[in-house]
Structure 1
């Protein structure tokens, strides 16, 4: 089979398309013929060796997949050969085949095409887990989303509005913020033009925001935290900016605010029942037309490097998809 391979850590241009051996599922695993793979910002870090975990070289990147079951391993009863599915893996998705843990592989709803299915689980799973389980976002509270036009950010905007919050979307361009408005943001902040802390205070009449969703990190994190409300929750989702911020610990003390880590991948694998309940809720909302992933562009497998370059250069709004024929 063909697969995108990372043979040495480096930029997207260092990735190669190679012929590799076909795969075989073990017990409680599913072999999937990949039709589409969604790209996520961590993919750009993993191939450079800059992410929290480093797969052993060489490896195939890609986590969000959708396709057709080719074979099921021993003990798998909820899926069968020929069934259309979607799921997630730590890596391996940018290939013609991938082995998916059975508890991370779900029947694909008929109303979802393969690109939409491949754009769904990680973005919405992360954001819903963050807002519901970690941030305990309540109806009527105010939610600030940093990096709001990216894959997980836009999902957080959409979910926050659906959960009854007032949503403030923050991003780096007016074009990106225009998309956030389409996805439910009540107000927006271009943090390259306006002082983030001052604008948060202005928009909340001095109270501050109840929940901050931060997949970006970098220089804006402390300014955002300084705009948090008393008893607020600051959700640490990721570090797309590349820099891990250092928050002065007197700030959470003074506001009695919480800094809360969000690691959906670990939650999904260790709390499978709770993750399944979340996933079923998200699929129901999608079926009802309440959630609609925004697909920025679709690339062919051989053009994966170009897609990841676009993501690295912060040009993507919503999700990028790689289709596999």
Structure 2
């Protein structure tokens, strides 16, 4: 089969190798093989290429932590899924979505919602579930509250903008550059701030009459976090999603005390490990929102498998809006 194999550690363009003769994986007990129709690139894929992610699959490995496709084969002890089922999946790390065929645990497959193409359906898990758990389980977002979203045109950021709007919040989207600002506006953000020319702290205070944002979604860290503390509302919540800016900040707890705000961490993958029963309900809600047209995953590029390493390089450089995905047009999804 065609696949991108991680055979050495390094940047994606060096570490990932396109092959046409990789063995087709066989599903074991409790596993399902999926014919991949699309698989988006994610920042953890970049980190795994470099050996910097907490999970380190043995080499050679096929990465790609989410996908959409058709059930191709089922292993022993699998009775829920049938060949031909249209699914989205969270595959095994070493047999991921960057190949024609992937393996996934049967309990990590979900029915693909109608109304989305393969790239959009494949993008409905990691980014949207991260955003949903952040806003609803961690921050307990309420209608009418103000949500400030950093990196709002990225994969997780764009999902957060859409889900916050669907929940009845007002959204301040912080982006870098006019191209990304256009995406944020198209998603329905109430205020778009281009951080390259404007100060998001001053803009947020002006928009809220000096009160600040009730919820701040921060996947960037570093100075972005420190400046966010200057525009968080009293009893607000700052969501720590990651440190894409490359710097892990220190926290001034005296400031947390004075303004009575909360700092909330989120690693969505931990829910898969420690509270897996929460995942299906979130998928049902996301499918409902997709069916009614409230969410539309933004796809930056649909690439061939051989082109995907360069797509991962663009993702690592912050030069994408929404998602970059490899798509197999021969699969009738």
Structure-2 residue corresponding to 1:71: 73
Shift of residue 149, structure 1, vs aligned partner: 0.2
Alignment: residue pair count: 325
1:315 is paired with a residue whose SS is coil
Is 1:13 equivalent to 2:13 in the alignment? Answer: yes
Deviations along 1:63-119, one digit per CA (max 9) or x if unpaired, are 110111111123322211121211123632101111112121012234322122112
Is 1:314 equivalent to 2:315 in the alignment? Answer: no
> Structure 1 residue aligned with 2:301, among 274, 297, 304?
297
Structure-1 residue corresponding to 2:50: 48
Distance 2:245 2:33 in 1: 35
After TM superposition, which residue ranges in structure 1, 4 or more long, deviate above 4 angstroms? none
Deviations along 1:213-269, one digit per CA (max 9) or x if unpaired, are 112223211101221111111111122222222222222222221111111122134
Distance 2:92 2:212 in 1: 36
Contact between 2:92 and 2:105, CA under 8 Å: does it hold in 1?
no
- Root-mean-square deviation (CA, aligned residues, Å) is 1.6
1:211 is paired with a residue whose SS is strand
Contact between 1:104 and 1:269, CA under 8 Å: does it hold in 2?
no
1:301 is paired with a residue whose SS is coil
Structure-2 residue corresponding to 1:87: 89
Contact between 1:79 and 1:107, CA under 8 Å: does it hold in 2?
no
Structure-1 residue corresponding to 2:64: 62
Distance 1:45 1:263 in 2: 15
TM value normalised by structure 2: 0.93
Is 1:187 equivalent to 2:191 in the alignment? Answer: yes
Distance 2:274 2:34 in 1: 22
> Structure 2 residue aligned with 1:236, among 220, 234, 240?
240
TM value normalised by structure 1: 0.95
Distance 2:117 2:205 in 1: 42
Q: Judging changes above 3 Å, is the alpha-carbon distance between structure 1 residues 152 and 119 closer, same or farther for their aligned structure 2 residues? A: same
Q: Judging changes above 3 Å, is the alpha-carbon distance between structure 1 residues 78 and 185 closer, same or farther for their aligned structure 2 residues? A: same
Question: Bigger shift: 23-32 or 293-302?
Answer: 23-32
Contact between 1:145 and 1:157, CA under 8 Å: does it hold in 2?
yes
1:272 is paired with a residue whose SS is coil
Contact between 1:103 and 1:272, CA under 8 Å: does it hold in 2?
no
Question: Bigger shift: 159-168 or 215-224?
Answer: 215-224
